[in-house]
């Protein structure tokens, strides 16, 4: 483990002109999370002493979005280059710390890749993350001497023919001793075509001072992809989703088409579960073993037990499902829904803040909200729990082995006792005792001689 205190500096001040957007570049999303959010998650996982985020364009939007995080916000009022950006953060960093520099628009960088870079600073004042590419065109090349020691970085436009043949490139990621970094940054200038202070220039400054420089490479070159356009954003989105799909399949899950799944959070799933196409998982989702999830489902912050079947086009949000639950198609399980084992929620059924005990069912065209349903109770088609009086929500309690006929309204607060039966078409406004039949509807009658209305005959023109 590193012996020095670690401070992380994340550069997030750029406008991102090529995104053609009023939204700051680092606020564009991959897998439903802003680019900067991914980088912050990685930074937090490294357990640093402090995280400094350098912002400029769109500062208010960025700081508001991440106001919950423990971050030292540093404003770069003028975008004068990456070296200048790091300088703005250094006043908040002690001399005896190590500084890790990350980028708010490079979301795939991993803890596994950054850890050796940080550890290298125990022995080297400067450690770089480099990468070997088959096509390094346009990127800064790493130069080395006859002893294979890093001597500097040469930009593509300034490289000689021999240097252009180098396939080791600079990724921008580095870790350095804070005191040394301060000194190197003080020595660089903006004598270049862009008139900016480049962080990469510290490499030559360190070499000129006789300092040894370490170099490490990422576990996967996909980790270093930066985002500067909508096209690159879509490419990184697909890389991220491919990684998530591979993780699920490695854990024993069958994906009918790995290219058609979106994970916007974290998903864990047991062995032999099957996920069909176009499913979206948001937040923290836990799926048991031998679960079948049909196409076009959206599941958010929910738990699904073993042997459940989720039929197509079902939406589940902040719900907990026991084992062998059957839901959908076209069901909507809203927050606060708890379904015990062997519950059946059918097509076009909506639940909210509702608890269904073992073996109960609502097979179609029903709304159950702010309610508890006992074991082996059957709720017919078109039943509504009328839980809202225009100002307050009220509870409906339905006991065990209750049969609620079709097209009933249960006006809360109301209690239906165990074993009761509610006749179809009833509006129930009072409690029903256990075992009783409750009917609330007008008596059917027939009217002799009644004629159905007809349209008048058209007039002659």
Residue 296 region by backbone torsions, left for phi larger than 0, else alpha for psi between -120 and 50, else beta: left
HSE, CB side, 13 Å, CA atoms: give it for residue 214. 19
CA distance 258 to 82: 38
CA distance 222 to 241: 13
Both structure tokens of 19: 């995104």
C-alpha distances in Å from residue 298, one per residue of 293, 315, 332: 10, 5, 10
Cα dihedral 82, 88, 93, 94 in deg (nearest 10): 110
CA distance 389 to 371: 15
Whether cis (ω within 30° of 0) applies to the bond prior to 268 is no
Catalytic site residue from 68, 311, 364, 394 = 364
Q: Which residue has the tokens 């307050």?
A: 392
CA distance 325 to 342: 5
What is the total residue count of the chain?
A: 461
Report whether 121 contacts 175 (CB < 8 A).
Answer: yes
Per-residue DSSP letter, 335: T
Both structure tokens of 370: 């702010």
Residue 364 annotated among the catalytic residues of the structure: yes
| DSSP per-residue codes, 246-273 | HHHHHTT-EES-TTSEEEEEEEEE-TT-
201 phi and psi, to 5 degrees? -70, -15
Report helix, strand or coil for 7.
Answer: strand
292-293 and 298-300 strand pairing: unpaired
Beta bridge partner(s), residue 286: 268, 303
279 phi and psi, to 5 degrees? -90, 145
CA distance 77 to 42: 26
Which active-site residues does the annotation give? 364
């Amino acid at each position: 483990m590193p012996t020095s205190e670690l401070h992380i500096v994340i550069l997030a001040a750029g406008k991102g002109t090529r995104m053609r957007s009023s939204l700051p570049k680092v606020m564009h999303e991959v897998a439903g999370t802003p680019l900067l959010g991914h980088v912050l998650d990685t930074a937090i996982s490294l357990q640093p002493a402090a995280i400094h985020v350098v912002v400029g364009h769109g500062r208010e939007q960025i700081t508001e979005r991440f106001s919950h995080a423990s971050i030292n916000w540093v404003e770069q009022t003028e975008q004068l280059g990456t070296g200048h950006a790091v300088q703005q953060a250094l006043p908040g960093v002690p001399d005896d710390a190590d500084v890790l520099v990350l980028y708010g628009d490079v979301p795939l960088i991993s803890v596994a890749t950054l850890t050796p870079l940080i550890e290298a600073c125990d022995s080297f004042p400067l450690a770089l993350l480099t990468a070997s590419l088959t096509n390094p065109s346009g990127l800064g090349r790493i130069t080395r001497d006859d002893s294979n020691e890093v001597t500097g970085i040469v930009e593509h436009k300034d490289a000689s023919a021999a240097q252009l043949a180098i396939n080791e490139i600079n990724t921008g990621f580095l870790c350095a001793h804070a005191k040394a970094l301060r000194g190197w940054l003080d020595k660089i200038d903006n004598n270049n075509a862009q008139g900016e202070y480049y962080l990469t220039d510290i490499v030559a400054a360190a070499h000129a001072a006789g300092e040894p420089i370490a170099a490490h490479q990422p576990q996967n070159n996909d980790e270093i992809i930066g985002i500067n356009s909508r096209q690159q954003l879509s490419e990184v989105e697909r890389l991220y989703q491919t990684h998530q799909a591979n993780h699920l399949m490695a854990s024993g899950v069958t994906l009918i088409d790995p290219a058609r799944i979106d994970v916007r959070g974290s998903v864990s799933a047991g062995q032999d579960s099957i996920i069909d196409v176009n499913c979206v998982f948001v937040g923290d989702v836990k799926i048991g073993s031998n679960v079948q999830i049909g196409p076009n489902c959206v599941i958010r912050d929910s738990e699904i037990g073993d042997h459940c079947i989720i039929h197509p086009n079902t939406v589940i949000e902040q719900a907990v499902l026991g084992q062998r639950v059957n839901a959908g198609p076209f069901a909507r399980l809203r927050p606060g829904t708890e379904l015990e084992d062997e519950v059946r929620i059918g097509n076009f059924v909506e639940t909210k803040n509702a608890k269904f005990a073992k073996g109960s069912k609502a097979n179609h065209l029903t709304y159950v909200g702010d309610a508890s349903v006992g074991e082996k109770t059957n709720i017919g088609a078109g039943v509504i729990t009328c839980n809202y009086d225009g100002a307050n929500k009220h509870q409906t309690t339905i006991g065990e082995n209750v049969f609620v006929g079709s097209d009933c309204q249960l006006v809360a607060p109301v209690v239906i006792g165990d074993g009761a039966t509610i006749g179809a078409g009833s509006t129930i406004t009072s409690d029903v005792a256990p075992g009783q039949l409750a009917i609330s509807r007008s008596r059917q009658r027939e009217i002799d001689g009644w004629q159905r209305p007809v349209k008048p005959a058209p007039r002659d023109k």
